[in-house]
Amino acid sequence: MLGERYLPRLIEHIREGRVNPGAIITHRFPLEDIAEAYRVFTSKRDQCIKPVIFPATRAA
């Protein structure tokens, strides 16, 4: 795949601080809210362009 060809270089840019991936993330959703995240993304509500889904944190 084309993306696989560029991934090592992209990771290198991130590690060296030339690219900040956090700057393009528009929304963050916990995994348990995946249905709502999908609705927000597909409807482009709240200008959602690049959402990130993260796992729920476990209670200690």
Parent domain of 52? 23-60
Q: Report in angstroms the alpha-carbon separations of 2 from 5, 7, 58.
A: 5, 9, 36
Residue 6: predicted pLDDT? 86
Residue 58: predicted pLDDT? 61
* Number of domains forming the structure of the chain: 1
In a domain, 7, yes or no: no
In a domain, 39, yes or no: yes
In a domain, 37, yes or no: yes
Within 10 angstroms of residue 37's Cβ, the number of other Cβ atoms is 19
In the 3-class helix/strand/coil scheme, how is 11-39 assigned residue by residue?
HHHHHCCCCCHHHHCCEEEEHHHHHHHHH
Closest by CA to 28, choosing from 6, 49, 5, 58, is 49
Positions of the chain with pLDDT lower than 70, given as ranges = 1-3, 58-60
In a domain, 16, yes or no: no
What separation, in Å, do the N-terminal and C-terminal C-alpha atoms of the chain show?
A: 40
